[in-house]
Amino acid sequence: MIGGSLTNILVVDDERYICSIIQEALASEKYCIKALSDPAQALEYIEQHPVDLVLTDLIMGEHSGIQVLETTLRHHGNAIVILMTAHPTLETAISVLTRGAYDFLVKPFRLELLKATVKRGLDHQRVLRENLQLKGQVEFLKVVGATGAEVHIKDILMMVARSCKKEMAAAAVGIIETDPASREPISRVHESDDESLSGEVLDDGTIENFTYTKSTQPVIQGEETGKGAEALTRIFISQPLFARRRLHGVINILIRSRFDQLTPGQLDVLSILANSAAASLANHRLYQDLRTSYLEAIRALANAIEARDACTAGHTDRVSAMAELVARHMGWDEHRISDLVMGCSLHDIGKIGVPDSILNKPGKLTDHERKQMEAHPEVGLMIIDGIDLFRPAIPYITAHHESYDGSGYPNGLKGDAIPIEGRLLAVVDTFEAIMSNRPYRKGADLRQAVSELVKYKGIQFDPEIVDIFIDVIRQGKIDFQMLYNRDEDLSQLDAIAVSEKEPA
Ligand SMILES: [Fe+2]
């Protein structure tokens, strides 16, 4: 019975009448009872069927209850085994209990005692199973409990897939994330014993099961394969991921089992995991929508600043593009790169507080004007402060005018005390400012711009980042034609390297 959760009890005793008495005594309870008087047959039965509790005689001709105990525990990890014996000794009791038996009954026993022992055993088993499931879920829930901002959604889905595979004893688990509006698949993760099963659990067709329904119940299909000892039941479960009545995806689970039913608690675990996964997907989507809206609003502001300042048209985009190349060269992961792009886009947002007359002044700034201009990192921080989504942009905004020797602003930080984000942006931001055309001057060429970086290595700039940036340029990764609408001769860099080595 696929999907059922009846408690399966096996009674093994070579005396048929004892089998009958026990069967009758437990019949009023909601158990599925099988009684076998042939121990050899019982051992075979245990290997091929789900068993939750076994009551077995200790001595049965050439077979012993110890064999039944060991076979049961080998095939059904947390099954309860109760031994029955008419000849109890202390040694026997210790022996069976240390081998993993739950308890033993001394024949003849009162039926009330039998019922109470079985009930106590099953209660104990339920607690064990629940503890096991909870233990497995704690780590998962800890991660899922983190906000979408901190954890990549694919990592969460991968964790759900792994938990499902373990808890359901599955051969393969696939999760397809779908767009709640269009129902189109967005992303897929899978975890399987055998790569050839991935196609089955990642079949987009399984989404159609839930197109016209709001039912959160899984669709379960089972089929028998093979015969005799080779007989297997193939169970395929499609669990929809609904959150706020919208379909966010589906978990597909393929189980190949010698038993024709899911063990007790498996469907509960699946339901917990599906709810967590659906909530994570829904939160992630909300977070993404919110992030996009905020970014669009802030980018509009950044563009407004660029429009005010004729000098900086396209500056932010060029800085972002080059900084990303440097960060990739340094091995930053996608999450960090996405923060970098946001940080670079917003780094001069504080210039919104600088008057046009100062922003566009071609000549030297007065002390007062310079102070207003140099306030832009702090003004920028004030603008985004309190918006959680933009927290990763803070080091870019606040530290891009710090100098490696401690002479920069706003905090006069020195060396490694300057966040790496600020040190990286300082190099690229200055390089871009030198390279770009201004109304009152033509942009410098590559040799002049790189020479400036080299000249101020260790003074204004982190020397390591300058070297990395030059490496990136040397490797031809920066498309000057696209960024500046002009070609640059990279061999100019060799001349800089030579002049650096010459004595001053
Ligand atoms: Fe700036």
CATH classification of the domain holding 154: 3.30.450.40
**Nearest-CA neighbor of 66 among 56, 80, 53?**
56
Q: Are 204 and 176 in contact (CB under 8 A)?
A: yes
Q: What is the pLDDT of residue 502?
A: 42
| Rounded distance from Cα 401 to ligand 1 centre (Å) | 6
| Rounded distance from Cα 377 to ligand 1 centre (Å) | 7
Is pLDDT of 1 > 50?
A: no
Is pLDDT of 33 > 70?
A: yes
**Nearest-CA neighbor of 178 among 218, 141, 144, 205?**
205
| Rounded distance from Cα 217 to ligand 1 centre (Å) | 55
Q: Are residues 363 and 496 in the same domain?
A: yes
Predicted confidence (pLDDT) per residue in 284-311, tens digit: 888 888 878 877 777 777 777 777 766 6
Q: Are residues 262 and 383 in the same domain?
A: no
E strands within 244-332? 246-257
Q: Are residues 23 and 72 in the same domain?
A: yes
User: What is the SS3 assignment for 242?
Assistant: strand
| Rounded distance from Cα 325 to ligand 1 centre (Å) | 20
**Nearest-CA neighbor of 250 among 293, 287, 215, 222?**
215
Calculated CA dihedral for residues 426, 456, 461, 350, nearest 10 degrees: -30
CA separation for the pair 162, 177 (Å, rounded): 16
DSSP H or E segment with residue 108: none
CA 196 to chain centre: 23
In a domain, 59, yes or no: yes
Mean pLDDT across 15-32: 88
Most confident of 252-256, 381-385, 459-463, 484-488: 459-463
User: How many CB atoms are located within 10 Å of the residue 481 CB?
Assistant: 10
| Rounded distance from Cα 488 to ligand 1 centre (Å) | 26
pLDDT more than 90, % of the chain = 42
Q: What is the pLDDT of residue 96?
A: 83
| Rounded distance from Cα 481 to ligand 1 centre (Å) | 25
Q: Are 389 and 290 in contact (CB under 8 A)?
A: yes
| pLDDT confidence tier of residue 322, bands split at 50, 70 and 90 | very high
Q: What is the pLDDT of residue 268?
A: 72
DSSP code at position 253: E
| Rounded distance from Cα 412 to ligand 1 centre (Å) | 15
**Nearest-CA neighbor of 169 among 53, 258, 240?**
258
Q: What is the pLDDT of residue 444?
A: 85
Residues with CB under 5 A from ligand 1 (ion): 348
**Averaged confidence pLDDT in the chain:** 85
Q: What is the bridge-based pairing of β-strands 103-106 and 219-225?
A: unpaired
In a domain, 303, yes or no: no
Q: Are residues 124 and 258 in the same domain?
A: no
The packing angle between helices 153-167 and 266-308, to 10°, is 170
Predicted confidence (pLDDT) per residue in 180-234, tens digit: 888 899 899 999 988 888 999 999 999 988 877 777 888 988 887 777 656 677 8
**Nearest-CA neighbor of 129 among 269, 6, 1?**
269
**Nearest-CA neighbor of 342 among 411, 388, 403, 407?**
388
**Nearest-CA neighbor of 179 among 121, 246, 269, 244?**
246
**Nearest-CA neighbor of 446 among 478, 400, 401?**
478
| Rounded distance from Cα 400 to ligand 1 centre (Å) | 6
pTM: 0.54
| Rounded distance from Cα 305 to ligand 1 centre (Å) | 12
Last residue of a domain, one of 99, 129, 159: 129
| Rounded distance from Cα 349 to ligand 1 centre (Å) | 8
Q: What is the pLDDT of residue 154?
A: 82
| Rounded distance from Cα 480 to ligand 1 centre (Å) | 22
Most confident of 17-21, 87-91, 99-103: 17-21
| Rounded distance from Cα 304 to ligand 1 centre (Å) | 15
Mean pLDDT across 318-344: 93
| Rounded distance from Cα 373 to ligand 1 centre (Å) | 9
pLDDT more than 70, % of the chain = 88
User: What is the SS3 assignment for 94?
Assistant: helix
Mean pLDDT across 311-317: 78
In a domain, 137, yes or no: no
| Rounded distance from Cα 402 to ligand 1 centre (Å) | 10
Burial grade of 396 (CB within 10 A; 0-12, 13-18, 19 or more):
buried
Last residue of a domain, one of 239, 255, 278: 278
Q: Are residues 181 and 59 in the same domain?
A: no
Q: Are residues 443 and 381 in the same domain?
A: yes
Is pLDDT of 128 > 50?
A: yes
| pLDDT confidence tier of residue 264, bands split at 50, 70 and 90 | low
| Rounded distance from Cα 376 to ligand 1 centre (Å) | 7
In a domain, 294, yes or no: no
Q: What is the pLDDT of residue 462?
A: 97
Predicted confidence (pLDDT) per residue in 40-57, tens digit: 999 999 988 888 999 999
Query: What is the sign of the dihedral through the CA atoms of 159, 164, 170 and 174?
Result: negative
| pLDDT confidence tier of residue 356, bands split at 50, 70 and 90 | confident
CA separation for the pair 463, 423 (Å, rounded): 10
Q: What is the pLDDT of residue 221?
A: 87
Q: Please count the structural domains in the chain.
A: 3
Q: Residue 327 maps to which CATH number?
A: 1.10.3210.10
Q: What is the pLDDT of residue 56?
A: 96
Q: What is the pLDDT of residue 267?
A: 75
Is pLDDT of 140 > 60?
A: no
Higher pLDDT, 211 or 242: 242
CA separation for the pair 137, 131 (Å, rounded): 10
Q: Are residues 380 and 477 in the same domain?
A: yes
Q: Are residues 372 and 488 in the same domain?
A: yes
Q: Are residues 419 and 496 in the same domain?
A: yes
Mean pLDDT across 433-460: 87
Q: What is the pLDDT of residue 3?
A: 44
| Rounded distance from Cα 436 to ligand 1 centre (Å) | 15
Q: Enumerate residues 6+ apart whose C-beta is below 8 A from 261.
A: 1, 2, 3, 4, 5, 50
| Rounded distance from Cα 104 to ligand 1 centre (Å) | 79
Q: Which domain holds residue 114?
A: 7-129
| Rounded distance from Cα 344 to ligand 1 centre (Å) | 10
Q: Are residues 168 and 223 in the same domain?
A: yes
In a domain, 57, yes or no: yes
Q: Which two tokens stand for residue 47?
A: 């290997």
β-strand partners of 216: none
Q: Are residues 414 and 479 in the same domain?
A: yes
| pLDDT confidence tier of residue 498, bands split at 50, 70 and 90 | very low
| Rounded distance from Cα 456 to ligand 1 centre (Å) | 18
Q: Are residues 121 and 270 in the same domain?
A: no
Mean pLDDT across 365-382: 93
| Rounded distance from Cα 490 to ligand 1 centre (Å) | 27
Q: Which two tokens stand for residue 320?
A: 């972002």
Q: What is the pLDDT of residue 446?
A: 92
In a domain, 267, yes or no: yes
Higher pLDDT, 144 or 219: 219
Q: Which two tokens stand for residue 216?
A: 């959160």
Q: What is the pLDDT of residue 325?
A: 97
Q: Are 34 and 56 in contact (CB under 8 A)?
A: no
Higher pLDDT, 502 or 435: 435
In a domain, 300, yes or no: no
Last residue of a domain, one of 259, 278, 297: 278
| Rounded distance from Cα 328 to ligand 1 centre (Å) | 22
| Rounded distance from Cα 297 to ligand 1 centre (Å) | 20
Phi, psi of 362 (to 5 degrees): -75, -35
Instruction: State the Cα angle at 325 between 322 and 328, rounded to 5°.
Output: 150
Q: Which two tokens stand for residue 36?
A: 């076998």
In a domain, 296, yes or no: no
Is pLDDT of 145 > 60?
A: no
